[in-house]
Structure 1
Amino acid sequence: MNKPIAIATCPVDESLLESLNDQVEIRYAQTTNRRISLAEQVADQLAEAHIIVAEIDLVDKATLAAAPNLQLVISCRASPVNVDLDACRERGVPVCTTPGRNADSTADLSFALILDVTRRVTEASMWMRSGQWKPEDSGEPYRRFKGPTLNSRTLGVVGGGAVGQRVAQRGLGFGMEVQVYDPFLTQDRLPKGCTIATLDHLLCTSDVVTLHVPLLEDTIGLINEQRLSQMREGAYLVNASRAAVVVQPALVRFLQDGHLAGVGLDVFADEPPAADDPLLELPNVVVTPHIAGASADVVRSQTKMVAEIISAYLDEAELPYRAREDLVDFRKVDAAAAL
């Protein structure tokens, strides 16, 4: 009997999949543009595929049409933003994910943004590199770049999933008072030392607010003008979840008028953002190019889950890590919804 064929187009630790070689043929395909349809890149291989394992390459209607034998899609992401979930439902093809694969990496980057924007690290570095530190006033940077000490400040974590809980733990390590908003969590499921809070209370009382929610109908535009106005004057906001969670024009206004002291962003409505994006022109905004999950450790983590999913598929058992039915495809979000 012929073995099912799995096509993997994303980085995996091949050694962790070797135990499956007797049951499934895993083919590793190279793609040149990982943000376009797989049908435009490896159509010849899709014709035989029973399983697709992809991270960024788009698994869209064209991909499904080119893969008549397809029985399973594995998106190596916490949220399968590269997969047309509606098209897979119509075909009856289950979609699995690799939740938490980069939770620690994303939490690290999120806290790096918190430290950077509050202590003005990037701003001070650029100022120094530009030759503005003069010997006749060696104390100028001490006066210019003062920022708050995190100890005893309040950290508000919006979204208490794998990433949010890890960010909360890091905040506790810095001696912060940590409160978490998540409508699906109860106090007993939070890290010890954290408190549960309503979103209104969290926004009104936090010195730093960090966002870690999935993209759902209810989270698009969650942080809008009214909610930004609830934040403490001089507070900081960090977003390493999805750009559409925050209404960007309102965010720009609250930064320009000084209500917010600073913002750290790893996600943008358009990636890459336009050169004239107003967020890139503001000195109190720290930006990184969507690199929260950029860690070599993530590959090993996601491969372990891929192996678990494929093993369940081969055993005809219940598939672990099935994609949530209420997730919103970020490519289908009307840009106006977050403006």
Structure 2
Amino acid sequence: MRKRRVDIIPCEDVPKVISNYHICVVKMMKFDFDLISRASQMKLIVQFGVGLDGVDVDAATKRGIKVARIPSGVTGNALSCAEMAIYLMLGLLRKQKEMQIAVDHKMLGVPTGDTLLGKTVFIMGFGNIGLELAKRLRPFGVRIIATKRSWTENSSQLNGASEDLVDQKGAHEDIQKFASIADIVVCCLCLNSETVGVVNKSFLSSMRKGSLLVNVARGRLLDYQSTLHSLESGHLGGLGMDVAWTEPFDPNDPILKFNNVICTPHVAGVTEHSYRSMAKVIGDVALQMHAGSPLTGIEFVN
């Protein structure tokens, strides 16, 4: 049996050796034009997850390199992100930072938190994460409203399920109307040229005073200055985010000074379950490529 070799390479040395490899599995490292231009033998770039905003897809396409991601619905990534969204919601409702302050000051019985029960939750972007989130929110006794560009897409996956899980459905142009009737807004949108900064001054103003905003998708869906102003004015009741405008996020950023802000380090999809599932997909794809078989289990974007 042929012995397999594992190369341990510091990130800064990747440009020097990338020409030796046929497959690249991307996590947080930026795979830009310069790096792709050095990948002379590369045949496939696979994102270890869903978001491809760190990969220059156009540059890869011009060099004949296929780019793919791992669908979140089959690996546990989507359900892991859905659970994180609920964690952030509960943390905001129960005033996580204030509870820690109470513990530090040996105080009991404060703060007075709130429940999910009876709340209206707006899932903005009803894809794989939105579907898994709705499944898990239903037992909390919430009203679920959601928007999606097309409710006919992935109809086999959503058939029946969305009818039972979503109390009110809308299109993307309805996002401000839905925000105006929600107690909690959860961003589950993909980041692209149309959605960057979609949570802007106008959107935040449309939200109910004191309502909560949770983002488990991409940081740049939120306009930074508008979000900061909405927190400073007290209009936004709380912000829970697993993603930020720049990553890693500056721990001294003014947004983090608020007691009603919870920030986690982009770990919504980072669970044992999802990582093991995605690793198996990658392993299967590598074996398929070696055997010259069709590549399955991944979603090509070029």
For the aligned pair, the TM-score class normalised by the smaller chain equals: 0.7 to 0.9
Counterpart in 2 of 1:245?
A: 221
Q: Does 1:29 align with 2:2?
A: no
Aligned residue pair count: 288
Distance 1:57 1:156, change over 3 A: same
What's the CA shift string for 1:120-142, capped at 9, x where partnerless?
1232123322x152xxxx55x1x
Q: Does the CA-based 8 Å contact 2:78-2:132 persist in structure 1?
A: yes
- Map 1:10-159 → 2, pairs under 5 A: 27-33=5-11, 38-40=14-16, 43=17, 46-100=18-72, 101=75, 102-129=77-104, 131=105, 133=107, 139=109, 141=110, 145-159=111-125
Secondary structure of 1:256's match? helix
TM-score after normalising by structure 2: 0.86
Distance 1:191 1:295 in 2: 29
User: 2:195 matched to which residue of 1?
Assistant: 219
Does the C-alpha gap of structure 1 residues 47 and 299 become closer, same or farther in structure 2, counting only changes over 3 Å?
Answer: same
* Residues 123 and 323 (structure 1), Cα distance of their counterparts in 2 relative to 1, 3 Å cut: farther
1:319 Cα shift?
Answer: 5.4
Contact kept, 8 Å, 1:38 with 1:59, in 2: the verdict is: no
Counterpart position of 2:130: 164
Name the SS for the 1:223 alignment partner: coil
Q: Secondary structure at the match of 1:122?
A: helix
Q: 1:253-297: per-residue Cα shift (whole Å, max 9, x none)?
A: 112222121111111112233343111111111111212122122
| Cα separation, partners in 2 of 1:271 and 1:48, compared to 1, 3 Å | closer
Residue 52 of structure 1 aligns to a residue whose secondary structure is strand
1:192 alignment partner, SS class: helix
Cα distance, 1:323 vs structure 2 = 4.0
Residue 219 of structure 1 and its aligned partner are, at CA, apart by 0.7
Residues 1:214 and 1:38: Cα distance change in structure 2 (over 3 Å): farther
Deviation at 1:47, TM superposition (A): 3.3
Determine if the alignment matches structure 1 residue 203 to structure 2 residue 179.
yes
The one-letter code of the counterpart of 1:324 is V
Contact 1:219 1:245 (C-alpha < 8 Å) held by counterparts? yes
Change (3 A) 1:252 1:62: closer
- Call closer, same or farther: CA 1:26–1:86 in 2, change over 3 Å: farther
**For the residues of structure 2 that align with 1:117 and 1:255, how far apart are their CA atoms?**
13
Checking the alignment, whether the CA contact within 8 Å between 1:224 and 1:246 is kept in structure 2 is: yes
Q: Aligned-pair distance for 1:199?
A: 1.3
Among candidates 322, 333, 336, match of residue 299 of structure 2: 322
Change (3 A) 1:190 1:26: farther
In the aligned structure 2, how far is the partner of 1:269 from the partner of 1:282? 17
1:262 maps to what in 2? Answer: 238
Cα deviation code 1:303-330 (max 9, x no counterpart): 23223433554444365533436xxxxx
CA distance in 2, matches of 1:37, 1:285: 37
The answer as to whether partners of 1:96 and 1:309 remain within 8 angstroms in 2 is no
**Secondary structure of the residue that 2:91 maps to in structure 1?**
helix
Contact 1:96 1:320 survives alignment (8 Å)? no
Q: What SS class does the counterpart of residue 155 from structure 1 fall into?
A: strand
Cα RMSD after superposing both structures? 2.4
Corresponding position of 2:155: none
Give the C-alpha shift of residue 184 in structure 1: 2.5
SS at match of 1:279: helix
Q: Does the Cα contact within 8 Å between 2:88 and 2:214 map onto a contact in 1?
A: yes
Structure 2 regions of 5+ residues with no counterpart?
153-157
C-alpha change, 1:115 and 1:216, in structure 2 (3 Å) is: same
Contact 1:312/1:320, CA 8 A, preserved across alignment: no
Counterpart CA distance in 2 for 1:29 and 1:99 is 27
Secondary structure of the residue aligned to 2:240 is: strand
Gaps of 5+ in 1: 1-20, 326-339
